[in-house]
Amino acid sequence: MSVLAAAFSVVISVETLNRKYPGGAIQYARDCPNQTFCSDGLLTRVGLMTTDDMLSFVRSLEHHGLVS
For the chain, domain boundaries? 8-63
For residues 49 and 63, what is the distance between their CA atoms, to the nearest angstrom?
21
Confidence of residue 68 (pLDDT cuts 50, 70, 90): low
Question: If we measure between CA atoms, which residue out of 42, 19, 44 comes closest to residue 31?
Answer: 44
pLDDT tens across 4-42, in order? 666 799 999 999 999 999 999 999 999 999 999 999 999
Q: Work out the burial of residue 43: count CB atoms within 10 Å of its CB; fewer than 13 is exposed, 13-18 middle, 19 or more buried.
A: middle
Torsion on CA atoms 42, 48, 49, 52, rounded to nearest 10: -140
For residues 14 and 21, what is the distance between their CA atoms, to the nearest angstrom?
10
